[in-house]
Structure 1
Amino acid sequence: MWHNDLQMNFMKKLLLFFGMIIAAGCSSAQNKAIPTNIPSYHILTTDSVYVTPTNLKKDKPVLIIYFSPDCSHCQHLMYELKPKMKDFKNTQVIMITFVQQIQAIRNFVRDFDLKKYPNFTVGTEGYSMVVQRFYDVHTTPFTALYDKNKKLVKSWEKAPTVDDLTGEVKKL
């Protein structure tokens, strides 16, 4: 009986030890530094035009939102953003998805009336996953804000609050 208690105690300590190793590995993987430059994306817009960072206007901040048209968090972010669109009028907003169904992306653009905002560009990177790998995106929306010199100001791995986002944009 006493021998079983020792074995059980040893097993608990061993499990705790391995659990701590796994947790440390996971936390260091999630703390990966975001590169400070804009990724070299190549997206197909809903107008069937390819867009790259070379299309960005100089001396204007850039907000990149990596999203999925059917993501409820992405849709919620857009619903909250809609009344504050004027706060982003001097910011180039690039919305990039991995979804290849152009109709799904067009529906997203239609549902949020994004054609009204010429500073919004929405498109798919398709299977290239360049942007997804660049930011190491695991959940959508992923958001990154760059200043007018195209240097990273702040990024959010999960949906930011609209107040936080607008506050950061207003500082630029």
Structure 2
Amino acid sequence: MIPALKFPLMKKWFLTVVPLLFVLMAVTQTDTVYPYKRFPTVPPFSLLQADSSLLTKAQLKKGPVLVMFFSPSCDHCQHQVSDMLKRMAEFKNTQFVLATYQPFEEMVEFISTYELSKHPNIKVGRDEKFVLPPFYHIQSLPFLAVYNKKGDLVNTWQGNVPVDDLLKALH
């Protein structure tokens, strides 16, 4: 009788442990290279702008691009935008794409507060499909990515960045 008991227990153990081992092996072999590193060009995006039009990658002009993911209520994001605006003359050939996932009304207020519509090279929109955070693996704000005039990724930053570092990456 004892040998008959061992077999069902062993079968149960085998049917439990073996699938767990396969799951563990599959999880450990997951690709940890983030999309922005695998595809180091400006990602396809669709941002809802303040005038309710959509801004897409196809609408960007040739030239350097700075992508910034921000929150209108984030102090660090506000300081980053203020610092960049103080030196806008040095960014005259750079296209800015500022994206947020926060409510549309907050975005519109942010545009108004910083008078961003006065700058034709700054586009602000709401990432309604939440495409950019997983693409860039964003963990803190502001997030900035700089692309050269060919559209190739130069550098990314999480958190505030000195304007000199941005300008250096753009040139």
Structure 1 length as normaliser, TM-score? 0.76
Count residues with an aligned counterpart: 139
The alignment partner of 1:96 has SS state of strand
Instruction: Indicate which of 115, 124, 127 corresponds to 1:125.
Output: 127
Give the 5 Å matches for 1:1-172.
32=34, 34=37, 35-58=39-62, 60-99=63-102, 101-126=103-128, 128-169=129-170, 171=171
4+ residue stretches of structure 1 with deviation over 6 A? none
Structure 1, residues 100-158: CA drift from partner, whole Å, max 9, x if none? x22211111111111110000000012x2111110011111110000111110111122
Q: State the alpha-carbon separation in 1 of the partners of residues 42 and 168 from structure 2.
A: 21
Q: State the alpha-carbon separation in 2 of the partners of residues 41 and 134 from structure 1.
A: 10
Residue ranges of structure 2 left out of the alignment (5+ in a row): 1-31
The alignment partner of 2:123 has SS state of strand
The alignment partner of 2:105 has SS state of helix
Q: State the alpha-carbon separation in 2 of the partners of residues 78 and 72 from structure 1.
A: 10
Q: State the alpha-carbon separation in 2 of the partners of residues 152 and 67 from structure 1.
A: 19
Deviation at 1:166?
A: 2.1
Structure 2 length as normaliser, TM-score? 0.76
Q: State the alpha-carbon separation in 2 of the partners of residues 166 and 109 from structure 1.
A: 23
Q: State the alpha-carbon separation in 1 of the partners of residues 165 and 86 from structure 2.
A: 15
The alignment partner of 1:150 has SS state of coil
CA RMSD of aligned residues (A): 1.7
Structure 1, residues 13-49: CA drift from partner, whole Å, max 9, x if none? xxxxxxxxxxxxxxxx7x8563411111111001110
Identity %: 35
